[in-house]
Amino acid sequence: MRLVAAVTLLAAAVPAWADNETKNANCKGLPTASEIKGLLNDAAALAVPPLGGTVGGLFNGTKMWGAVVNRDGEVCAYATSQDDPAQVWPGSQAIAKAKAFTGNAFSLDTLALSSARLYTFTQPGHSLWSLGQSNLFDPLALAPPAGQGGGNHQIVGGLIFFGGGVPLYNAGKIIGGLGVSGDTSCADHEIAKRARHLASLDPPGGPLVDDIVFSSDPAGPSVFDHPKCPNTYRNGTFIGNEKPSSGY
């Protein structure tokens, strides 16, 4: 009984970001929690174009939650880029997990669809309005920032239609999704696509095939458009700022 109690207390002391370090077979080939932490930090520090340079946003991509799901949508691993998880927005844990689910849920071997590219489709008056009412997020997938739990190997659910969720591929086949949250949605997308590239899990079309699209792009408005954010950068190039409010 004493041995069981000691093991129980030891398990309770393990921080949430390390809780999913041991993966089951369905998570094979996907980053572990410690690898996610490293990828998030390396992505923020990446300086060489076309994927490197300034991230922008509020924190230049340095305060992030990252989460990975497998092809079934099960949580495989999650972590923060900071040593103290409480120094990353606690609300971003759920968003990162939902973005990972979204990036996986609507992508195929032949179609990589980042969460950033779903923005316009899901607005009022567009063809996927109310899509967010499907596949609702399971709150059992949450854990305190430095606590135990967090939905190990359960289907997390949740749909997010702004930047930060990308599908993951191996040898041309989709194997899951990565979600990143903790800054503006535009900065989240920058870190997600960089982390995916650093992990060698890009889609067949390359790291930019599902890149974020803005209405100010030379090609003009697109059904894939995403609004600008505060201090928006894409691949190291300054894009602009979100428009101020009007009419209210």
Residue 24 has what pLDDT?
Answer: 62
Residue 2 has what pLDDT?
Answer: 44
Measure Cα distances from 95 to 64, 72, 134, 165, 193 in Å: 11, 18, 16, 9, 16
pLDDT band at 9 (very low <50, low <70, confident <90, very high): very low
**Between vectors from CA 106 to CA 105 and to CA 107, what angle results, nearest 5°?**
100
Beta strands in 59-124 (DSSP E): 65-70, 75-80
Residue 236 has what pLDDT?
Answer: 95
Is the model's pLDDT at 197 over the cut of 50? Answer: yes
Euclidean distance between CA atoms 7 and 198, whole angstroms: 36
**How would you classify the pairing of strands 75-80 and 165-170?**
unpaired
User: Which residue, among 146, 80, 132, has the nearest Cα to 102 in the 3D structure?
Assistant: 132
User: Which residue, among 23, 25, 44, 24, has the nearest Cα to 34 in the 3D structure?
Assistant: 23
Is the model's pLDDT at 11 over the cut of 80? Answer: no
pLDDT band at 215 (very low <50, low <70, confident <90, very high): confident
Burial letters 7-44, b for 16+ CB under 10 A, else e: eeeeeeeebbbebbeebeeebeebbbbebbbbbbbebb
Residue 147 has what pLDDT?
Answer: 67
Is the model's pLDDT at 232 over the cut of 90? Answer: yes
Question: At the topology level of CATH, where does 15-238 sit?
Answer: Beta-Lactamase (3.30.450)
Q: Across residues 118-144, what is the average pLDDT?
A: 91
Is the model's pLDDT at 25 over the cut of 70? Answer: no
pTM: 0.89
Q: Across residues 185-213, what is the average pLDDT?
A: 98
Domain ranges of the chain: 15-238
Q: Across residues 93-120, what is the average pLDDT?
A: 97
Residue 6 has what pLDDT?
Answer: 40
Residue 151 has what pLDDT?
Answer: 67
Residue found under tokens 């101020």:
244
Q: Across residues 94-107, what is the average pLDDT?
A: 97
Euclidean distance between CA atoms 34 and 86, whole angstroms: 17
Backbone φ and ψ of 34, nearest 5° = -65, -35
The 10s digit of each residue's pLDDT in 52-76 is 999 999 999 999 999 999 999 999 9
Residue found under tokens 């030379």:
218
Query: Mean of the per-residue pLDDT values for the chain?
Result: 89
pLDDT band at 218 (very low <50, low <70, confident <90, very high): confident
pLDDT band at 140 (very low <50, low <70, confident <90, very high): confident
The 10s digit of each residue's pLDDT in 43-56 is 999 998 889 999 99
